[in-house]
Amino acid sequence: MIANLLNYIVWDPDPILAHLGPMTIRYYSTCWMIGLLLGYLLMSKLYKQQGLSDEKFSPLFLYIFIGVLIGGRLGHCIFYQPEYFLTQWDHFIEMLIPVHHMPDGSWKFTGYEGLSSHGGVFGMFIGIWLYCRNMKVSGWVVLDNMGICSGITATFIRLGNLMNSEIIGKVTDVPWAFIFVREDQYPRHPGQLYEALAYFCFFLLILFIYKKRGPKSVGTGFYFGLCLTLIFTFRFFIEYTKEIQVAFEAGLPMDMGQILSIPLIIAGVWSIASSTKRAKEKNVEAK
């Protein structure tokens, strides 16, 4: 296998997209922003199709952006690197603001290096709850619209991981294997690319179902449940192709990504199963 390294894809992109003075723009953060922007534009279109006003929609992006950012950051630090971020005061500061404490005592702006998709989802739920409470919008309507849009955002997040050469797969001899030069010289599963392609397909599938069923089908929890079930069931099984991200996972029966996926899969299946009842209640209210 190692003798045929030229048969594989050598992957060694610079994770930095551009320099703006002392600041750097990374592909990872750029992909996050593109994913959120596309989700925002699609959500705006869905709101208009469903007769919801711009005044109801405008604050949503801010609630979700802050929720996803805080949840994603805390999720990574607490679930994957607690021994680093929770043991020293300067590391704790690094968890909260996008800087790194250098060996010479100075602080360097680095951006947030590490965001958890599971933490981002939980943060999104909190952001949506606050938004619905303050804006008097049905939570199921917002969650269903998020279910329609989230796949495209998840796609770009995983592309950001690919540009960062992180969350790499196990050693393999499949012809599409990537050699992540920043890690080692072994051909590995491009797990980030698997996820990006799968999430994009899920996005197209859910969007197709929405177009067939129409705007009135939103608000039952079906699209929300379908999104959670598809994405996190795939996430659970694709973890078998990945290397563990942190050492303590080696002693667990499942890695952290699988453990955190289970409650979201359960929530997704429950949401789909109970959506019929909510649809009937919605039809009764409309009469």
Pick out the residues of the known binding site: 158
Judge residue 250's burial from the number of C-beta atoms within 10 Å of its C-beta, 0-12 exposed, 13-18 middle, 19 or more buried. exposed
Phi, psi of 201 (to 5 degrees): -65, -40
Angle (CA) 32-139-218 rounded to 5° is: 85
Q: Round to whole Å and give the CA distance between 219 and 239.
A: 32
Backbone angles phi, psi at 202, to 5 degrees: -60, -40
CA distances from 59 to 40, 106, 126, 135 (A): 11, 37, 14, 9
b or e along 87-104 (b: 16 or more beta carbons within 10 Å of the residue's beta carbon)?
eeeebeebbeeebeeeee
Q: CA-CA distance, 111 to 75, in Å (whole number)?
A: 16
DSSP state of 255: -
Enumerate residues 6+ apart whose C-beta is below 8 A from 280: none
Distance CA 79, CA 85 (A): 10
Given a contact cutoff of 8 angstroms between Cβ atoms, the answer to whether 74 and 81 are in contact is: no
Residue type, 107: W
Of the candidates 26, 23, 127, 17, which has an alpha carbon nearest to the alpha carbon of residue 69? 127
